[in-house]
Structure 1
Amino acid sequence: MSEKSYHSDCAICKNYKEFEMPSDIMEASKKGKLALFCGAGISTENKNVLPESFYMTIQNELDNTDTSMSFSETMQKYCDLPNGRRKLMKKIRERFQYIHSFPELEERATMFHRELSELHFVKTIVTTNWDTYFEDYCAAVPITIPEDFVYWDGNERCVLKIHGSISNLGTIIATTNDYEKCRENLEKGIIGATLKTILANNTVVFIGFSFGDEDFASILNYLQGEMKEFLPHIYIVTLDQNLYEKIEYKNSTCIVTDGTYFLHSLKNKLIAEKLIVNSGIMGDIELQKYLVCGIHSKIASIDFKTYPEVIYCLAYQDGICHAFDRFIQLYKTGNYNIPGVLNGSLKAYDKITKDKKKQGNYWDASYYEGYMNGLMYILLCGEKHPMVNSFPLFYLPNTKAEMNSFESFEEELCKVSKFKGKYHKYAIKVLENLLEAEEIVVHHPPF
């Protein structure tokens, strides 16, 4: 999604309104001091996900036409019916399951979360949402009950779920009774104390809330009641151009645009300053891994008893695939988008590779050679670099010949297998150990 890659007639893109990014938010981002307070508008309750909100679904089931009733009052009325609480929990779960069953709907519901995943500097998220999208798409550690605070870590992305989670039905805050208990917990418990610490030490941006939103009102009332003269200045990302005039909390700045577009614009500015790297390369890495796996399967069919040295290429390609696998698996943490992280890893693995070669452990050395090249490809992906255009798919430690096809690899393998030197002898030793351990497939594990 580039700055101008949207259309005004698109239901989603029409809300991508241009705005001036506050310098305060930019500076907080660079220092890792940006905290996000996220409401239902960035998730399943976004109008672009389903035509009817959960509130209206319950209102219709109650046959209630009084839309002045708040969300919690409506949920309370539903729960007051026989088995109402149990039915409500099932309704909530069914809504999430329905969205999950249609990838298009879940993609819309998680646009914000997927945009956030690359913003490695955002470690603190507070949400009133029940879904698990911050966990699933941003690798955030959920903090739902006081016992969860053992996982609270400033170096790891965490999401404080002040209204509970669908993964723990007993924690869900929905009714007026629930809201009262939540208010008491905020006033007296560790969650409230943590909220105040977040507000005191970070630049705070509210996203996904609107005027009349009960969650939004309760949080602002809590802030004003608890912080008093120490009220922090907050930013509110909203599509309501008149929100500032409607709210009583005047120590705030409204940014009129879509929440996902706000994150996208912030990310682009930080990419321009090279504070976010490796953005948008997931598809390239997945494609390269697919190519390596295809060649790997072909090489695995070579008779290793006749050509023992083939195990070095297999270990090398295992290393490449594991580097790519780890990138794909951990990409949503944002850690691979931190400048300099891969450089540090490359130095560490370069030392390991050299040590393995000195020890005469050529199989492990081949594996780490592949892992290093996998990291190098990730680092250089998107740049016009010879390695990216001609990635070394093949490897033999006892040759310097160029191997750019399966045929050229086979030819070189035949040549080196005629020499009964140290690489040949070590390969036979590795194979003997594998056969003794009844290993049928020659495979190097990720360690």
Structure 2
Amino acid sequence: MTNSDHALPGGKRSADVDECAVCSLNYDFMLPPQLVEAAKQGRLVIFAGAGISTENSRVFPSTFYDEIRSELPEDSVCEDFPSVMSAYEKLYGRLQLVEEAMKRIRYAETFPAVRQFATMFHEELSTIAQVREIITTNWDAFFEEICGAIPIVVDGDYAFYNLPDRKVYKIHGSLRNISTLVATSEDYEEAEASLRASAVGGTLRHLLATKTIVFTGYSLRDADFRNVYEPLMEGMGKLRPISYFVGPFDSPEAEALGIRHIKTDGTYFLRSLKRHLEESGDLLSDEVLDRSRKLRPLLATVHKETMRMDWRSHPELFFSLAYQDGMLDGFDRIQSQCMTGEYTDPKQVRSTLRTYNHLLHVAVDRNRFWDAAYINGYLNGLMTLVVEDKDLASLPFYELFEDDVYALTDDEQDAAQAGLEQNTEGKLDTGEEPDLREEVVKTSAPSIPQHWGETELVEALEGLFEALPEALKEVERYMVRLGPDMVPQHTPFLDGVMD
């Protein structure tokens, strides 16, 4: 790294780092500002080898290469990866070679402790919203499973190129499509020719010519790297953008190839990059994503209690059921999609919030208050991503109609707000409802929406139907259709609002 980089600090190892098998390679490094800027602009591409997955000593005691090489005769002269695979295939057949590869990947997939080490890089990468393209020579499906990436393996997959989802270009094939595996010398020759002529190869050359590439998980001497790098870089000369190699060991090959070396572990590099993006406001933190996971069990308990309330006698409580359905769906959506980066991109989150706020107004304008309550709950579930820790308690677990979108009178607004303020002071109903404060502590969240009892919830909503008579009519229509033992549930569809 030269002084002209005006580098930013990436991070420091702890004092006892050498005693830690996971972080012993987390070396101090300088994070180039131009690399951070490329990430902010969505111009950063990860080019990943097997060293960030199954082929490192933290995952298996020996590499796949070593295991296959040990099965060859002692007088075998083959040394590099493709020639070893060719020799094995000649002795035992293609099917057994594929079986050995599948056995190794399945071992990593099915033993949690092994999988944890094999996917540390993928887990860290998954929530970096700005990284939309990954190139890999790995056969496993961890980028698809953990980063939500669409696999582009053969030219036929190129039809999906314009989909907005994150993509992973699997240039040495995939175990999900075993006929595509690139392993032997013959396979490598075919793959090299394909990179020069195929649509996928053309796309990769475009990426390397226009975006900032970070290579990691390779030794730059490996045939696995050279076979891909050389045909893709042909003819680019010195005009290509600066690219980087992230690896914890010295690599004189990087300088010879014109690639800048960042000497540290790949996962640690991503963690440091994320910290810079979070500090600049370009990325929401993983801790923010975790709020929904921590809050969901408490809300589910509150929802069960609301279902047991006498909402037939107090129909104003009816809307809290839809509201809680919406908030639960919002929490579940965040957790199911967090791997794609959808909910760590502040711009995307703000756009989604604006969309649902618009839908809330539409639902109210159309007197669809049951839908409006669901939308409001979903909206507040997403709001957990953007509010301060101290403001989480202001997001209620019930539909209180406190938002001015419902156009309540001043008196009703005051009553609802008074109830909300009482709630945030931690005053629980003195009825038979269980005290959930112990559950609140278990979530470890800084500030939690409080649990209400039926009595204070009814009091907070007093006068609702005088202000919104159409809401009462809607409840009555639903009540007619409900059997005596039925509890209404709002599904994640908004027919009549979105049309």
User: TM-score normalised to the size of structure 2?
Assistant: 0.81
Given that 2:13 and 2:27 are in contact with CA atoms closer than 8 Å, whether structure 1 keeps it comes out as no
Residue 360 of structure 2 corresponds to residue 353 of structure 1: yes
Residue 486 of structure 2 corresponds to residue 446 of structure 1: no
Given that 1:286 and 1:324 are in contact with CA atoms closer than 8 Å, whether structure 2 keeps it comes out as yes
Question: Where do residues 367-386 of structure 1 align in structure 2 (5 Å cutoff)?
Answer: 367-380=374-387, 383-385=388-390
Given that 1:275 and 1:338 are in contact with CA atoms closer than 8 Å, whether structure 2 keeps it comes out as yes
- Counterpart amino acid of residue 216 in structure 2: I
Residue 16 of structure 2 corresponds to residue 16 of structure 1: no
The alpha carbon displacement at 1:12 in A equals 1.8
Cα distance 1:419–1:110, how it changes in 2: closer, same or farther (>3 A)?
closer
Q: Which stretch shows the higher mean deviation, 315-324 or 416-425? A: 416-425
Partner of 1:266: 273
SS state of the match for residue 135, structure 2?
strand
Partner of 1:308: 315
SS state of the match for residue 48, structure 1?
coil
Which of 67, 75, 96 pairs up with 2:85?
Answer: 75
SS state of the match for residue 24, structure 2?
helix
- Counterpart amino acid of residue 9 in structure 1: E
SS state of the match for residue 346, structure 2?
coil
Counterpart CA distance in 1 for 2:279 and 2:83 is: 47
The alpha carbon displacement at 1:340 in A equals 3.2
Given that 1:309 and 1:396 are in contact with CA atoms closer than 8 Å, whether structure 2 keeps it comes out as no
SS state of the match for residue 209, structure 1?
coil
Counterpart CA distance in 2 for 1:358 and 1:286 is: 33
Given that 1:140 and 1:158 are in contact with CA atoms closer than 8 Å, whether structure 2 keeps it comes out as yes
Partner of 2:178: 169
Counterpart CA distance in 2 for 1:208 and 1:67 is: 26
The alpha carbon displacement at 1:65 in A equals 7.1
Counterpart CA distance in 2 for 1:182 and 1:143 is: 14
Partner of 2:208: 199
Cα distance 1:392–1:229, how it changes in 2: closer, same or farther (>3 A)?
closer
SS state of the match for residue 262, structure 2?
strand
Residue 341 of structure 2 corresponds to residue 334 of structure 1: yes
Which of 239, 256, 261 pairs up with 2:263?
Answer: 256
Partner of 1:110: 119
Counterpart CA distance in 1 for 2:307 and 2:249 is: 60
Given that 2:210 and 2:241 are in contact with CA atoms closer than 8 Å, whether structure 1 keeps it comes out as no
- Counterpart amino acid of residue 322 in structure 2: A
Counterpart CA distance in 2 for 1:431 and 1:140 is: 45
Cα distance 1:368–1:439, how it changes in 2: closer, same or farther (>3 A)?
farther
Given that 1:394 and 1:409 are in contact with CA atoms closer than 8 Å, whether structure 2 keeps it comes out as no
Partner of 1:28: 38
Partner of 1:395: 399
Q: Which stretch shows the higher mean deviation, 231-240 or 317-326? A: 231-240
- Counterpart amino acid of residue 85 in structure 1: R
Partner of 2:497: none
Given that 2:44 and 2:131 are in contact with CA atoms closer than 8 Å, whether structure 1 keeps it comes out as yes
- Counterpart amino acid of residue 202 in structure 2: A
Question: Where do residues 205-284 of structure 1 align in structure 2 (5 Å cutoff)?
Answer: 205-228=214-237, 230=239, 233-241=242-250, 243-244=251-252, 246=253, 249-284=256-291
Structure 1: unaligned runs, 5 residues or longer? none
SS state of the match for residue 20, structure 1?
strand
1:26-68 alpha-carbon deviations (Å, 9 max, x no partner): 2211221111111011111121111111111112233547586
Partner of 2:198: 189
Given that 1:231 and 1:251 are in contact with CA atoms closer than 8 Å, whether structure 2 keeps it comes out as no
Counterpart CA distance in 2 for 1:119 and 1:224 is: 27
The alpha carbon displacement at 1:2 in A equals 7.8
- Counterpart amino acid of residue 199 in structure 2: I
- CA RMSD, 1 decimal: 2.7
Counterpart CA distance in 2 for 1:332 and 1:67 is: 44
Question: Where do residues 60-99 of structure 1 align in structure 2 (5 Å cutoff)?
Answer: 60-64=70-74, 69-82=79-92, 84-99=93-108
1:59-98 alpha-carbon deviations (Å, 9 max, x no partner): 223354758611111111121135x211121211111111
SS state of the match for residue 287, structure 2?
coil
The alpha carbon displacement at 1:202 in A equals 0.6
Which of 159, 164, 167 pairs up with 1:158?
Answer: 167
Given that 1:200 and 1:232 are in contact with CA atoms closer than 8 Å, whether structure 2 keeps it comes out as yes
SS state of the match for residue 149, structure 1?
helix
Partner of 2:65: 55
The alpha carbon displacement at 1:343 in A equals 2.6
The alpha carbon displacement at 1:419 in A equals 8.8
Given that 2:136 and 2:171 are in contact with CA atoms closer than 8 Å, whether structure 1 keeps it comes out as yes
Which of 431, 455, 464 pairs up with 1:411?
Answer: 455
User: TM-score normalised to the size of structure 1?
Assistant: 0.90
SS state of the match for residue 35, structure 1?
strand
Cα distance 1:167–1:353, how it changes in 2: closer, same or farther (>3 A)?
same
Cα distance 1:424–1:223, how it changes in 2: closer, same or farther (>3 A)?
closer
The alpha carbon displacement at 1:140 in A equals 1.1
